[in-house]
C-alpha cells in the first residue's frame, strides 16, 4: 500500500479497534521495524494512526510507530474488514499476498495476516514509498517490465490455485461463465440507466473458448494499483478485486486505464503482448472481446465513485466493440 493516501477523520473507536487488531502482531511489527522484540507493548502504546481510506468492504489505515522516547521507528499499513458478511475478498487478498511474498515477487511485504478478536480478517503490510505509474508518461520498455511482472504474478498464482480454491470456489478455470447474465445483473444493480444498444451475447462464445485462449487470475492491474518505488522497483498493490478471466484481461486493465499515459501507441502495446506471448493475429478478435468485457466492468464499478472515469471506460468499451464488429455503432449509449 502506498503512503500517499488522503487523510480522513478517524474515530476514537476505530483507533481502539486498530490497537486491538495489531496488538497480537507486536513481535512481528518489532521484527519488521528492526528493533528489539522485547518491547512490543511499548510500541503498541505509542502508535499513531495517521491516515484512513475506505476500500471495497474494508478499511485501510497508515500507522506510525514510536518508542517511549517518541522517536519515530517506521510505519505500516493495516487493511481490515469491519463487514462480517462481506469479508471473503480480504481473506483471498491475504492468501494472494502470502503466496507472492513467499516468492518475493514485487508486492508489499507482509508483516502479518490473521483474524482479529471480532472474527474479521486483517492484513498488516509495508507502506510503499514512491509514486503511481499514472503520474508518469511510460515508454514501451517500462510497459514491458510491467507486463513481465503481471505475467509472473499470474504464473505464481496459477501454480497455487489449490490454495485459492480453499478460499473461494470461483477459482475454477474450466467453468463456463454466462457473461450475458452476469453483465445484465451488474448493469441492473449498479448502472441501471446505461442504455444497451446492441446484444453482448457474443461474449459467451469468445470468452469461453478455452481451445483458443487461456484463462488466468485477474487481480485488477489498473494504473493506480501499480507503483514505482523510490529505488525504481515496480511494485503491484491491492489484490482485493479478483476474478477468473482471459489471458488478456490484466494487460487490458493496465493499458486501457484512461489514467495511464504512454509515449507509444495503444496498437504498439497490444502488439507487444502478442509478440511476447507468441500469439497469432487470428486471436485479435478474442482480444477485442476481452477488451469490451474488461472495460465495461471497469465502467460499471467506477461509476458511483468517479462518473467521469467511468464514461472513459465506456468509450473504451465502444471502441473495442467497433474493432470487433468492424462496423460503426456502439454497445453502450453514453449520449444521455
pLDDT band at residue 86 using 50, 70 and 90 as cut-offs: low
In a domain, 5, yes or no: no
Closest CA to 126 of 147, 145, 111: 111
Element (H, E) at 215: strand 215-218
The conformational region for residue 114 under phi > 0 = left, psi -120 to 50 = alpha, else beta, is left
Pairing of strands 130-132, 226-229: antiparallel
In a domain, 236, yes or no: yes
Phi, psi of 115 (to 5 degrees): -130, 130
- Residue 187, domain extent: 131-333
For residues 99 and 164, membership in a common domain is answered with no
In a domain, 4, yes or no: no
For residues 149 and 288, membership in a common domain is answered with yes
For residues 135 and 118, membership in a common domain is answered with no
Range with lowest mean pLDDT among 21-25, 97-101, 212-216: 21-25
Q: Which of 127, 149, 180 is the last residue of a domain?
A: 127
Q: Which of 85, 101, 127 is the last residue of a domain?
A: 127
For residues 323 and 210, membership in a common domain is answered with yes
Number of structural domains, the chain?
2
Grid cell, residue 301, equals 464499478
Grid cell, residue 102, equals 513467499
For residues 217 and 84, membership in a common domain is answered with no
For residues 42 and 75, membership in a common domain is answered with yes
Residue 12 burial class via C-beta count within 10 angstroms: exposed 0-12, middle 13-18, buried 19 and up: exposed
Residue owning grid cell 453502450? 332
Q: What is the DSSP letter of 139?
A: P
Determine the distance from the C-alpha atom of residue 139 to the mean position of all C-alpha atoms in its chain, rounded to a whole number.
Answer: 22
pLDDT at 316: 96
For residues 190 and 277, membership in a common domain is answered with yes
Considering the entire predicted model, what is its pTM? 0.89
For residues 115 and 138, membership in a common domain is answered with no
pLDDT at 192: 87
In a domain, 20, yes or no: yes
DSSP string, 163-175: HHHTT-TT--TT-
In a domain, 6, yes or no: no
Q: What is the DSSP letter of 74?
A: E
Q: How many CB atoms lie within 10 A of CB 294?
A: 24
For residues 265 and 194, membership in a common domain is answered with yes
Closest CA to 18 of 70, 57, 68, 62: 62
Cβ neighbours of residue 178 closer than 8 Å, sequence gap 6 or more = 204
Gyration radius (Cα) of the chain, Å: 21
pLDDT band at residue 241 using 50, 70 and 90 as cut-offs: confident
State percent of the chain over pLDDT 70.
91
Question: CATH code at 96?
Answer: 3.30.200.20
Mean per-residue pLDDT over the chain, rounded: 87
> 65-85 pLDDT, tens per residue?
988 888 899 999 999 876 666
For residues 112 and 181, membership in a common domain is answered with no
Question: CATH code at 300?
Answer: 3.90.1200
CA distance 73 to 77: 14
Grid cell, residue 52, equals 484512513
Determine the distance from the C-alpha atom of residue 312 to the mean position of all C-alpha atoms in its chain, rounded to a whole number.
Answer: 19
> 1-22 pLDDT, tens per residue?
555 444 444 454 567 778 778 8
pLDDT band at residue 317 using 50, 70 and 90 as cut-offs: very high
In a domain, 190, yes or no: yes
pLDDT at 336: 60
In a domain, 153, yes or no: yes
Grid cell, residue 181, equals 447474465
Determine the distance from the C-alpha atom of residue 217 to the mean position of all C-alpha atoms in its chain, rounded to a whole number.
Answer: 11
pLDDT at 300: 94
pLDDT surpassing 60 at residue 87: yes
CB distance 244 to 157 below 8 Å: no
pLDDT surpassing 90 at residue 167: no
For residues 103 and 162, membership in a common domain is answered with no
For residues 27 and 82, membership in a common domain is answered with yes
In a domain, 7, yes or no: no
Q: Which of 72, 107, 127 is the last residue of a domain?
A: 127
Q: What is the DSSP letter of 128?
A: B
> 19-63 pLDDT, tens per residue?
778 887 888 898 898 887 666 777 778 888 877 766 556 788 899
Amino acid at each position: 500500500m502506498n503512503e500517499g493516501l488522503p487523510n480522513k477523520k478517524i474515530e476514537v473507536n476505530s483507533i481502539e479497534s486498530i490497537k486491538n487488531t495489531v496488538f497480537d502482531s507486536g513481535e512481528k511489527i518489532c521484527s519488521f521495524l528492526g528493533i528489539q522484540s522485547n518491547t512490543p507493548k511499548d510500541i503498541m502504546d505509542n502508535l499513531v494512526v495517521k491516515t484512513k481510506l475506505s476500500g471495497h468492504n474494508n478499511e485501510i489505515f497508515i500507522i506510525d510507530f514510536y518508542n517511549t522516547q517518541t522517536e519515530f521507528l517506521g510505519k505500516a499499513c493495516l487493511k481490515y474488514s469491519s463487514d462480517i458478511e462481506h469479508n471473503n475478498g480480504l481473506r483471498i487478498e491475504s492468501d494472494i499476498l502470502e503466496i507472492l511474498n513467499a516468492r518475493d515477487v514485487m508486492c508489499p511485504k507482509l508483516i502479518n495476516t490473521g483474524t482479529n478478536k471480532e472474527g474479521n480478517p486483517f492484513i498488516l503490510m509495508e507502506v510503499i514509498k514512491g509514486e503511481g505509474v499514472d503520474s508518469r508518461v511510460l515508454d514501451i520498455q517500462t510497459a514491458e517490465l510491467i507486463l513481465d511482472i503481471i505475467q509472473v504474478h499470474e504464473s505464481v498464482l496459477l501454480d497455487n490455485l489449490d490454495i485459492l480454491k480453499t478460499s473461494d470456489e470461483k477459482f475454477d478455470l474450466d467453468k463456463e461463465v454466462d457473461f450475458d447474465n452476469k453483465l445484465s445483473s451488474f448493469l441492473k444493480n449498479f448502472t441501471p440507466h446505461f442504455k444497451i444498444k446492441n446484444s453482448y451475447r457474443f461474449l459467451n462464445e469468445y470468452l469461453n473458448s478455452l481451445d483458443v485462449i487461456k484463462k488466468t487470475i485477474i487481480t485488477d492491474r489498473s494504473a493506480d494499483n501499480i507503483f514505482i518505488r523510490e529505488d525504481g522497483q515496480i511494485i503491484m498493490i491491492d489484490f482485493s478485486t479478483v476474478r477468473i478471466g482471459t489471458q488478456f484481461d490484466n494487460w487490458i486493465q493496465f493499458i486501457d486505464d484512461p489514467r495511464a499515459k504512454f509515449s507509444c501507441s495503444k496498437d504498439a502495446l497490444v502488439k507487444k503482448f502478442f509478440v511476447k506471448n507468441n500469439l497469432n493475429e487470428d486471436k485479435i478478435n478474442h482480444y477485442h472481446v476481452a477488451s469490451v468485457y474488461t472495460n465495461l466492468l471497469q465502467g460499471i464499478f467506477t461509476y458511483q465513485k468517479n462518473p467521469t472515469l467511468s464514461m472513459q471506460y465506456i468509450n473504451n468499451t465502444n471502441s473495442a466493440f467497433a474493432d470487433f464488429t468492424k462496423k460503426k455503432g456502439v454497445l453502450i449509449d453514453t449520449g444521455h
